[in-house]
Amino acid sequence: MRVKQLSSLEKRRIFLVLLTIVLLFIGLAGKLFWIQIAATENYSSHGVNLLKNSVVQRQRALVLESGRGEILDRHLQPMTGRIVKSLVVFPIHSQLQPNPQQVSQLVGILRTNTDSWRAFTKDLKEPQVWRAADGGKPAPLTDGQERQIEALHLPNVKVVEMEDRYPSGMTARQLIGFIGQNPDRVMNLYGADLEKGKVALTTKIGGAGLEKTFDLWLRGIGETSISYFMDAGKRPLSGLDARMIAPNNAFYPVKLVTTLDASVQQQIETLMDKLNIREGAAVVQEAGHGDIIAMASRPNYDPTSVDLVSKSWSNYALKATAPGSIFKTVVAAAALDFGVVKPNETFTCEGALGKYGFTCWRKEGHGPLTLEQGFAQSCNIVFAKVMQRLTPAQLESYAHKLGVLDEVGWTGKTDSKVILRQLDSEENGQLFGAHTPHDDEGVLMQTAIGQRDVMMTPLQASNMIVTLLHNGKGYSPRVVQEIRYQTDRVMESFEPHKLEGSSGYVSASTSRTLLNWMQEVVTEGTGQGLKGAKWKLAGKSGTAQTMVGKQEKVNQWFIGYGPVDSPKYAVSVVIKNTDPSESNKAIPLFKGIMDILASGSNGGQ
Q: Tens digits of per-residue pLDDT, 445-455? A: 999 999 999 99
520 touches 540 (CB < 8 A): no
Q: Helix 508-523 vs helix 458-469: angle between axes, to the nearest 10 degrees?
A: 110
Q: Quickly list H helices, 35-156.
A: 50-56, 100-109, 114-121, 143-152
Structural domains for the chain: 262-600 (3.40.710.10)
Residue 522 has pLDDT above 50, yes or no: yes
Kindly state the helix (H) or strand (E) to which residue 508 belongs, with its residue range: helix 508-523
Closest CA to 280 of 313, 242, 315, 249: 315
Q: Which residues contact 506 (CB under 8 A, 6 or more apart)?
A: 333, 337, 398, 401, 402, 467, 468, 472
Q: Which residues contact 507 (CB under 8 A, 6 or more apart)?
A: 336, 337, 472
Kindly state the helix (H) or strand (E) to which residue 555 belongs, with its residue range: strand 551-562
DSSP summary character for residue 359:
B
Alpha-carbon gap, residue 79 to 332, rounded angstroms: 41
133 touches 120 (CB < 8 A): no
Higher confidence at residue 570 or residue 204?
570
Q: How many CB atoms lie within 10 A of CB 286?
A: 20
Q: If you average pLDDT over residues 132-157, what whole number do you get?
A: 86
DSSP summary character for residue 4:
P
548 touches 521 (CB < 8 A): no
Closest CA to 295 of 320, 327, 271, 261: 261
Lowest-confidence range among 262-266, 436-440, 574-578, 584-588?
A: 436-440
pLDDT bin (cut points 50, 70, 90) of residue 53 is very low
Q: Which residues contact 280 (CB under 8 A, 6 or more apart)?
A: 272, 297, 298, 316, 573, 574, 575, 576
Residue 574 has pLDDT above 60, yes or no: yes
pLDDT digits (tens, 9 = 90+) for 179-200: 999 999 999 999 888 888 888 8
Alpha-carbon gap, residue 506 to 398, rounded angstroms: 7
Residue 547 has pLDDT above 50, yes or no: yes
Q: If you average pLDDT over residues 203-222, what whole number do you get?
A: 93
pLDDT of residue 601: 72
Write down the pTM of the prediction: 0.85
Phi-psi region of 452 (alpha: psi -120 to 50; beta: other; left: phi over 0): left
Residue 4 has pLDDT above 60, yes or no: no
pLDDT of residue 602: 53
Q: How many CB atoms lie within 10 A of CB 45?
A: 6
Neighbour-count burial of 8, counting CB atoms closer than 10 A to its CB (0-12 exposed, 13-18 middle, 19+ buried): exposed
pLDDT of residue 52: 42
Peptide bond preceding 98 in cis form (omega within 30 of 0): no
pLDDT bin (cut points 50, 70, 90) of residue 238 is very low
pLDDT of residue 35: 47
239 touches 463 (CB < 8 A): no
pLDDT of residue 17: 66
Mean pLDDT of the chain: 88
Residue 236 has pLDDT above 70, yes or no: no
pLDDT of residue 93: 67
Alpha-carbon gap, residue 332 to 359, rounded angstroms: 19
Higher confidence at residue 263 or residue 136?
263
Closest CA to 453 of 431, 435, 429: 431
Alpha-carbon gap, residue 357 to 420, rounded angstroms: 47
pLDDT digits (tens, 9 = 90+) for 332-383: 999 999 999 998 899 999 999 989 999 999 999 999 999 999 999 999 999 9
Q: Helix 392-401 vs helix 328-338: angle between axes, to the nearest 10 degrees?
A: 110
Residue 507 has pLDDT above 90, yes or no: yes
Residue 561 has pLDDT above 90, yes or no: yes
pLDDT of residue 543: 96
Lowest-confidence range among 110-114, 449-453, 459-463?
A: 110-114
Distances in Å between the Cα of 479 and the Cα atoms of 86, 144, 286, 424 are: 33, 39, 11, 11
pLDDT bin (cut points 50, 70, 90) of residue 551 is very high
pLDDT digits (tens, 9 = 90+) for 269-307: 999 999 999 999 999 999 999 999 999 999 999 998 999
